[in-house]
């Protein structure tokens, strides 16, 4: 005859392992890089002139707008979230990181330029 206590301990242990695995996966998913600093080299714009920094920032801002529109368009269709994430999201994060790096360099170099809309 099988001991019911051992069976119960096994179920509790398997549930505990499943919960820990879910928490580990959720933890990995919540780690974010809001400005994408791991993608862009932060000193990329430090040795450019103010005009070059501003032109690069404006170009990346325009690219972010295009990518954002493409992501929204993709997400409107069934299964589009996957397409948007696979096709556009990484480039969007990279563009956002480059804009943040350009903003940092503009502040560092005292570039007085209005931010694009």
* 16/107: higher pLDDT: 107
On whether both 68 and 109 belong to a single domain, the answer is: yes
Q: Domain range spanning residue 12?
A: 1-31
Report percent pLDDT > 70 for the chain.
Answer: 61
d(CA 91, CA 97): 10
Mean pLDDT for the chain overall:
75
**For the segment 27-83, what is each residue's pLDDT rounded down to a tens digit?**
444 344 555 555 557 778 888 899 999 999 999 999 999 999 988 888 888 888 887
On whether both 75 and 115 belong to a single domain, the answer is: yes
Q: What is the pTM of this model?
A: 0.60
pLDDT of res. 7: 64
On whether both 66 and 100 belong to a single domain, the answer is: yes
On whether both 78 and 21 belong to a single domain, the answer is: no
Q: Is the pLDDT score of 25 beyond 70?
A: no
Please give the tally of structural domains in the chain.
Answer: 2
On whether both 18 and 48 belong to a single domain, the answer is: no
């Amino acid at each position: 005859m099988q001991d019911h206590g051992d069976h119960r301990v096994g179920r509790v242990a398997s549930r505990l392992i499943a919960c820990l695995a879910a928490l580990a996966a959720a933890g990995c998913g919540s780690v974010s890089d809001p400005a994408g600093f791991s993608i862009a080299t932060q000193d990329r714009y430090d040795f450019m002139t103010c005009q070059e920094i501003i032109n690069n920032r404006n170009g990346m801002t325009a690219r972010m707008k295009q990518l954002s529109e493409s992501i929204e368009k993709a997400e409107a269709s069934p299964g589009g979230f996957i397409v948007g994430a696979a096709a556009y999201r990484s480039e969007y994060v990279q563009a956002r990181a480059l804009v943040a790096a350009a903003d940092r360099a503009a502040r560092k170099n005292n570039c007085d330029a209005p931010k694009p809309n």
